[in-house]
Chain A
């Protein structure tokens, strides 16, 4: 394949743009985490459990669940979405097990992140990659 100068330029610009998007998304994730934690340290650990399918049949409706015994609240982020915020579950005094399930939108294959705020002010994180398939039949 022989590229004209213009084509080469377009390709080069395209790759710059493609590289810039994940960095923006990462910054947005960091911002969302900071807003939730107030800058406190977040440790990855078993204190919070994130249940998500390994492969989602359609990214428009992906079932996920979070659980963290004793947690005050759990924030869910989708790191690869145009905006990463998904939901924050805050448990009231009459909550049973501190768990919740819902269905979410994932724009592409990406990490889903759950961060639980514990009563002692510490934060625990779990994440799981969900592969989003693109079906053959738009219908």
Chain B
């Protein structure tokens, strides 16, 4: 009974906190992201399947400060581009018992152009949800005879950076019908489920309160089109599911694991909420 009281009190605090934040609301910044003369689409009409839940989809870039936005608007100033360079080295590096590199089969990384915009997607043969990380590890284990990289391995984020960068500017177009439909539904259910002692769902922050402040953090829509992101806080790259872990943990819940069925479905669903926004390659966030 006592435990129940504490839980309720915490939930009340959370609600109060958000209510306070609501008073300090600040609109996302009206600005245009141009990288090396090319405009990147950072706003789009809300995806039809959301039934108006998001009138307009907005990249997290609009929710960041002037200095952070500027850092992404120049490929040299963007520290995340280091990892694209490192990814290219890995792309060309032979590994595993088959004596192959990525380049042995795919030649240049530009062969991956477009992939980031349509993933996560359901693999026709296996029926599994695949994101870029799972494609890379699948190639390593089934074709290269190499070991899979771990969920948090820098090699995996380096490859994600390289491959995402090939699709920069392409509009997110993640399929939600056909084989993807059950995963979309599962992801949607997770998105609206309140987790943790704070009893927060993804929607509590990123649908109901984007533009408001939670403490001093300007809440975005939680779009994934910019991933991987170089977070100023961590000074390294974060994957979408790596970010999910942080979000769920911040609700004071036990998190799902990276690569779990739950997070794979959630990543597919969240990505589909940003259909129409451009892949940013490697973004910069706080």
Contact = CB atoms under 8 A, between A and B. Distances in A.
Q: Do chains A and B touch in the complex (CB under 8 A)?
A: yes
Interface of A: 53, 55-58, 60-63, 133-139
B34 interface: no
A57 B286 contact: yes
A57 B79 CA distance: 16
The interface centre, meaning the residue of A53, A58, A133, A138 with most chain B CB atoms within 10 A of its CB, is A58
Contacts of B214: 136-137
A63 B67 contact: yes
Contact of A137 (B66, B68, B79, B247): B247
Interface in B224-243: 231-235, 238, 243
Contact of B216 (A61, A62, A133): A133
B235 A137 contact: no
- Central interface residue in B79, B234, B243, by most chain A CB within 10 Å: B234
A136 B243 CA distance: 14
B64 interface: yes
A134 B215 CA distance: 8
Interface in B49-81: 64-68, 71, 79
A135 B233 contact: yes
Interface string B196-216: 000000000000000001111
B216 to A, nearest CB: 4
4 closest A-B pairs (Cβ-Cβ)? A139-B246, A136-B215, A135-B217, A136-B214
A135 B213 CA distance: 9
A139 B247 contact: yes
A139 B65 contact: no
A133 B232 CA distance: 12
B261 interface: no
Interface string B73-117: 000000100000000000000000000000000000000000000
Interface size class of B (residues with CB under 8 A): 20 to 34
A137 B233 CA distance: 10
Contacts of B79: 61
13 contacts: A53-B66, A57-B64, A57-B232, A57-B286, A58-B286, A60-B235, A61-B232, A133-B216, A135-B217, A136-B250, A138-B246, A139-B234, A139-B238
Contact of A57 (B65, B246, B249): B65
Contacts of A53: 65-67
Contacts of B67: 53, 56-57, 62-63
B216 A139 contact: no
B42 to A, nearest CB: 18
Given A55-B65, A57-B67, A60-B233, A135 B216 contact: yes
A57 to B, nearest CB: 4
Given A137-B250, A139-B247, A58 B233 contact: yes
Q: Which of B71, B216, B235, B243 has the most CB of A within 10 A?
A: B216
A136 B217 contact: yes
A55 B286 CA distance: 12
Contacts of A58: 231-233, 286
A134 B243 contact: no
Contacts of A62: 67
B229 to A, nearest CB: 10
A53 B65 CA distance: 10
